[in-house]
Amino acid sequence: MKWHLYTGPLVLVILWVLVSQFGLVDAFFLPNPLVTTAALGTLVVTGSILPDLLATLARVGLAFLIAVSVGLPLGLLLGRSEKVYRHFEFIIDFFRSMPATALFPLFLLLFGVTDSSKIAVAAFASMLIIIFNSAHGVMHTSKTRIRAAKIMGATNAQIFRWIVFWESLPQTLVGLRSAVSLSLVIILVTEMFIGATSGLGRQIIDAQITYEIKTMYAVILLAGVVGYLCNLVFVHVEKNIVHWGGK
């Protein structure tokens, strides 16, 4: 059994218990792990959190799908020519480095206070991460293998299909993994502050406003579990499917 996988969660729980037990933070504002877990269990068992969970997952899934549909082809295309990529590098890095929250007013003006604005800003920020990683994955493809393929008479299309695409895939997956996490973060934040009537983010802010502190922590914990599971999917793909990464 891989005991090291449990070290981080165990340390976190122990610190949480110690802080709560010794009263370093008022118990009202930081319930102990058992109280928080019980609150989360109640939300799950009663099904009251299910509509909000599904609403958040739907927004994240759609934002991520849009980001992949646009960002992946663009990244692969730009990466095929480093000179072309350099022409667009400033735009990509400028918006990629800008906090997504700074773009909220722009997307609100364009899409209004609707789900479209939430999904659009998450998709835009995630798309830039995917473009950056997939383009760099293509640009760092082994030049030796490409030259060998050309010597053997392979066409550009064949080289891209059988060498460039597969060699760029590990870096591309890093981008996808980061993008899905970013999509979740942005969707949660927009649900809190941009007129959402459902979603985990909305539940967190509502619980905070009404001082339902244990419920707030329970929903935060659930959001963390969702993010961790999304990350775990890509870790599994990287380890078991794209096993040639770095070789």
Evaluate if residue 60 carries a pLDDT over 80. yes
Evaluate if residue 238 carries a pLDDT over 80. no
Q: Can you read off the two tokens belonging to residue 75?
A: 């990244």
Closest listed residue to residue 170, CA positions, set 198, 134, 146: 134
Q: What angle do CA 155, 160, 162 make, to 5 degrees?
A: 90
* 164-179 tens-digit pLDDT: 888 888 888 889 999 9
Evaluate if residue 71 carries a pLDDT over 90. yes
Q: What angle do CA 130, 68, 247 make, to 5 degrees?
A: 55
Rounded to whole angstroms, the Cα distance separating 69 from 3 reads 38
Percent of the chain with pLDDT over 90: 34
Tell me what pLDDT residue 129 has.
Answer: 94
Q: Please, what CATH class does the domain formed by 51-240 belong to?
A: mainly alpha
Q: What angle do CA 129, 135, 141 make, to 5 degrees?
A: 135
Closest listed residue to residue 70, CA positions, set 13, 17, 119: 119
* 122-168 tens-digit pLDDT: 999 999 999 999 998 888 887 778 788 888 877 778 878 888 888 88
Tell me what pLDDT residue 110 has.
Answer: 85
Tell me what pLDDT residue 151 has.
Answer: 82
- What angle do helix axes 82-97 and 115-139 make, rounded to 10 degrees? 140
pTM above 0.75, yes or no: yes
Rounded to whole angstroms, the Cα distance separating 135 from 168 reads 8
Can you say whether the dihedral through the CA atoms of 67, 70, 72, 74 is positive or negative?
negative
Residue 244 pLDDT level (bands cut at 50, 70, 90): low
Evaluate if residue 39 carries a pLDDT over 80. yes
* 168-211 tens-digit pLDDT: 888 888 899 999 999 999 999 999 888 778 899 999 999 999 98
